[in-house]
């Protein structure tokens, strides 16, 4: 939305395709609708920012299509998307992809049972439908979103049986080194500490744990951690978020690298957001996790570069307009090394063999390790051995976990493995949708 | 599992059973609010599954909507009277 606003301000014609049903992405989802926090409630300031952005976007003159699923990008930047069962095509002078983030998988034994979901998923239910968890509700994992959601749901009258803190020990000590940089943007830290304090005030038990498993038959009934067994109706897992690279990885010639700190693939970009494919840019968390505010600045910076590419700005004009935005983005990114050190992704080597890694094809970590011992070098070869990453989700969920487990099994850094390749169409397409293109 | 903090304004049918819903909300939210945890059975082992991500990535919320299989319940908005059912295994050839 920020990129569309900036592009419109530079006189560029904009077509925005959004798979969601309404503007706002995940962070500003349903803001002004169901997501209407009380003025001092957790997330309220961010919701106000989102509302302002959406209002400005609606007035910008950008053409927007919601419920529009992009599923192919061609060499000449012709994009194909489906909307209400009908496919459409358009050619872009410049294509800016803003695929956002998805939750990093936190594979534990039993995580495929109905009743085990992501913390982000529960937050989406709260924002889009006003749903609050009830019964024996547990949260487990680590990261800012876990504490934000816990604070949000408690403020709305939700209850929690407990939070299992799975963060690797020594977090504050590891992170201390990065504290001075993080303190240049103190708002982030203060908000985070505020969420944690709210959870403690509510009397929710916060239990440090290492090993966790979910149990049940038709649905979740119990969780087991460090030798304890507790009744559970709902278990919400979280281990941070990773860039959604499903589209960019399918683009031939669009290079990606393994980000060691965030344990995920991300596209190789210059400071403007240019990928290694001419005329294709990426902005927001899809480029590397930076949060909603940094995403806004990345979007505006990328739009200025798009304007230069399209000839409505000279290089010098672009540089002058981008200067303050680049500084503000840098300021928003200041707390990231601190957060990465405080909540480093959980080690893949610790995932028990019986855990399903690939949920779609039901492939366990043990089978992935066995195939690796037989000679499978990386996630792409593994497909021929086990079909991991070839089910309906096409590796969206298991991708980072399979990659990290294979690297650990081979005893090499994850960067040494080629990332899982993806193919268009990025989402299932019906024959009817294909026929609608003819 | 979940309770609503707001009102409903319509009903939908899940396997023919009427459940309350709110027009425009994700179908997956209406099902979860009605206590339905399992949306589908996997093609590989027939295991029950419910939604994991609710943002269109995991495909564990696949259901049949108005007879059309393989719909992601998290991305389908509720319309009054909508008929939906679990997705059992892979979709049929036709």
What are the tens digits of pLDDT across the range B53-85? 999 999 999 999 999 999 999 999 999 999 999
The domain ranges of chain A are 2-98+260-313, 105-239+338-342, 348-416
d(CA A321, CA A100): 25
Distances (CA, A) of A15 to A89, A259, A278, A406: 12, 31, 19, 40
Is 3.50.50.60 the CATH classification of the domain at A105-239+338-342?
A: yes
Write out the two tokens for A431: 């024959």
User: Given an 8 Å threshold on Cβ–Cβ distance, is A131 in contact with B32?
Assistant: yes
pLDDT at A33 over 90: no
Residue A138: closest C-alpha in chain B: B1
Window A:89-118, CB contacts with B under 8 Å? 102-103, 111-118
Q: In this predicted model, what pLDDT tens digit does every residue of B1-53 receive, in sequence order?
A: 999 999 999 999 999 999 999 999 999 999 999 999 999 999 999 999 999 99
Mean pLDDT within A330-342: 94
Distance from CA of A367 to the nearest CA of B (A): 16
CB of A245 within 8 Å of a chain B CB? The answer is no
Domain A2-98+260-313 matches domain A105-239+338-342 at the CATH topology level: yes
Which of A20, A121, A157 is facing B53, going by the closest CB pair?
A121
A103: tokens are 């939750």
pTM: 0.95
| Calpha distance A62→A297 (Å, rounded) | 18
Res. A100: pLDDT tops 80: yes
pLDDT band at residue A32 under the 50/70/90 scheme: confident
Q: How far is A212 from chain B (nearest CA, A)?
A: 17
Task: State the Cα–Cα distance between residues A335 and B41, nearest whole angstrom.
Answer: 42
Is B70 contained in some domain?
A: yes
Residue B6: inside a domain: no
Cα–Cα distance, A280 to A251 (Å, whole number)? 10
Contacts of A360 in chain B (CB under 8 A): 42, 44, 59
Mean of per-residue pLDDT scores for chain A: 95
Instruction: Record the tokens describing residue A153, joined without a space.
Output: 């749901």
pLDDT at B72: 96
> Lowest mean pLDDT: which of A127-141, A180-194, A382-396?
A180-194
- Whether B31 is in a domain gets the answer yes
How many percent of chain A have pLDDT more than 90? 88
Let me know if residue B61 belongs to a domain.
yes
A3: Cβ contacts below 8 Å, ≥ 6 apart = A96, A98, A283, A299, A300, A302, A303, A306
Sorted by sequence, the CB contacts under 8 Å of residue A398 that are 6+ apart come out as: A105, A107, A357, A358, A359, A360, A363, A388, A389
Q: Hey, how many other C-beta atoms are within 10 angstroms of the C-beta on A170?
A: 11
Phi/psi-derived region of residue B70, left when phi > 0, alpha when psi is between -120 and 50, beta in every other case = left
Q: Quick one: A33 exposed, middle or buried, by C-beta within 10 A (0-12, 13-18, 19+)? A: middle
CB-based contacts of A326: which residues, under 8 Å, 6+ apart? Answer: A271, A297, A301
**What are the backbone dihedrals phi and psi of residue A409, each rounded to the nearest 5 degrees, phi first?**
-65, -35
Is it the case that residue A35 has pLDDT exceeding 80?
Answer: no
Asked, for residue B92, whether it belongs to a domain, the answer is: no
ipTM associated with this complex: 0.97
Cβ-defined contact of B53 to A103 (cutoff 8 Å): yes
Residue A128: pLDDT band (50, 70, 90) is very high
Residue A22 has a pLDDT of: 87
With an 8 Å Cβ cutoff, is B47 touching chain A?
yes
- pLDDT of B94 higher than 70: no
Say whether B37 and A103 touch across the interface (CB within 8 A).
no
CATH architecture for residues A2-98+260-313? 3-Layer(bba) Sandwich (3.50)
Output the CA–CA distances (angstroms, integers) from residue A405 to A198, A390, A397, A398, in the order listed: 36, 17, 14, 10
Structure confidence at residue B93 as a pLDDT band (50, 70, 90) = low
**Is the pLDDT confidence value at A310 over 90?**
yes
Contact A351, A401 (CB under 8 A): yes
Would you call A397 an interface residue with chain B, using a CB distance cutoff of 8 Å?
yes
In a domain, B42, yes or no: yes
Bridge-based pairing of strands A256-259 and A264-267 is antiparallel
Contact A403, A414 (CB under 8 A): yes
Other beta carbons less than 10 A from residue A384's beta carbon = 10
* pLDDT band with cut points at 50, 70 and 90 for residue A46: confident
Closest to A114 (Cβ–Cβ): which among B33, B38, B74? B38
A53 secondary structure, DSSP code:
H
Q: Per-residue DSSP letters for A129-188?
A: H-EEE-SSEEEEEESHHHHHHHHHHHHTT---SEEEE-PPS-HHHHHHTTHHHHTTSHHH
DSSP three-state, residue A298? helix
Assigned token pair, A114 = 């109905």
Of A310, A120, A52, A328, the closest CA to residue B52 belongs to A120
Structural domain range at position B48 = 26-87
Q: Do A133 and B42 touch (CB under 8 A)?
A: no
Number of helices followed by number of strands (H, E) in chain B: 1, 8
Residues B31 and B41: their CA atoms lie apart, in Å, by: 16
Mean pLDDT, range A49-64, rounded to an integer: 92
Residue B55 lies in a domain: yes
Q: Which residues of A touch B53 (CB under 8 A)?
A: 102-103, 117-118, 120-121, 397
From chain A, pick out residues whose CB is under 8 angstroms from the CB of B57.
102, 244, 393, 396-397
Structurally, chain B folds into a number of domains equal to 1
């Amino acid at each position: 939305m920020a990129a569309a606003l900036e592009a419109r301000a530079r006189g560029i014609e904009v077509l925005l395709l959004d798979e969601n049903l309404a503007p706002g992405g995940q962070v500003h989802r349903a803001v002004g609708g169901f997501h209407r926090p009380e003025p001092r409630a957790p997330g309220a300031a961010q919701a106000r920012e989102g509302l302002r952005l959406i209002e400005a976007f609606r007035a910008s003159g950008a053409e927007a299509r919601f419920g529009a699923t992009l599923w192919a990008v061609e060499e000449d930047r012709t994009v194909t998307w489906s909307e209400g069962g009908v496919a459409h095509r358009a050619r872009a002078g410049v294509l800016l992809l803003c695929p956002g983030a998805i939750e990093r998988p936190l594979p534990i034994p039993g995580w495929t049972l109905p009743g085990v979901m992501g913390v982000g998923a529960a937050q989406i239910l709260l924002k889009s439908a006003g749903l609050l968890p009830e019964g024996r509700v547990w949260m487990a994992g680590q990261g800012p979103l876990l504490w934000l959601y816990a604070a949000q749901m408690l403020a709305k009258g939700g209850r929690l049986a407990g939070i299992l803190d799975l963060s690797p020990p020594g977090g504050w000590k590891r992170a201390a080194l990065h504290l001075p940089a993080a303190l240049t943007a103190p708002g982030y830290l203060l908000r985070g500490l505020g969420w944690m304090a709210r959870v403690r005030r509510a009397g929710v038990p916060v239990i440090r744990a290492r090993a966790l498993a979910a149990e049940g038959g038709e649905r979740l009934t119990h969780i087991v951690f460090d030798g304890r067994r507790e009744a559970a109706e709902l278990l919400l897992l979280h281990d941070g978020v990773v860039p959604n690279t499903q589209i960019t990885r399918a683009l031939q010639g669009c290079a990606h690298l393994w980000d060691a700190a965030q344990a995920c693939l991300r596209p190789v970009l210059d400071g403007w957001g240019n990928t290694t494919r001419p005329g294709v840019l990426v902005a927001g968390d899809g480029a590397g996790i930076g949060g909603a505010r940094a995403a806004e600045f990345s979007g505006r910076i990328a739009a200025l570069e798009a304007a230069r590419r399209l000839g409505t700005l000279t290089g010098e004009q672009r540089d002058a307009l981008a200067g303050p935005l680049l500084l503000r983005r840098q300021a928003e990114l200041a707390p990231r090394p601190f957060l990465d050190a405080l909540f480093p992704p959980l080690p893949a080597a610790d995932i028990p063999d019986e855990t399903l890694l690939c949920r779609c094809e039901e492939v366990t970590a043990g089978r992935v390790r066995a195939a690796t011992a037989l000679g499978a070098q990386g996630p792409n070869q593994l497909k021929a051995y086990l079909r991991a990453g070839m089910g309906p989700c096409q590796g969206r969920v298991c991708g980072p976990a399979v990659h990290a487990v294979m690297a650990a099994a081979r005893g090499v850094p994850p960067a040494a493995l080629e990332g899982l390749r993806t193919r268009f169409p990025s989402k299932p397409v019906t024959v009817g949708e294909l026929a609608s293109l003819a | 599992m979940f309770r609503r903090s707001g009102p409903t304004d319509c009903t939908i049918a899940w396997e023919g059973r009427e459940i309350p819903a709110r027009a425009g909300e994700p179908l997956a939210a209406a099902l979860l609010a009605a206590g339905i945890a399992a949306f589908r059975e996997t093609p590989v082992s027939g295991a029950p599954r419910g939604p994991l991500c609710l943002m269109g990535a995991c495909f564990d919320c696949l259901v049949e909507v108005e007879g059309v299989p393989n719909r992601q319940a998290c991305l389908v908005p509720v319309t009054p009277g909508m008929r939906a059912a679990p997705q059992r295994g892979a979709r049929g050839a036709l």
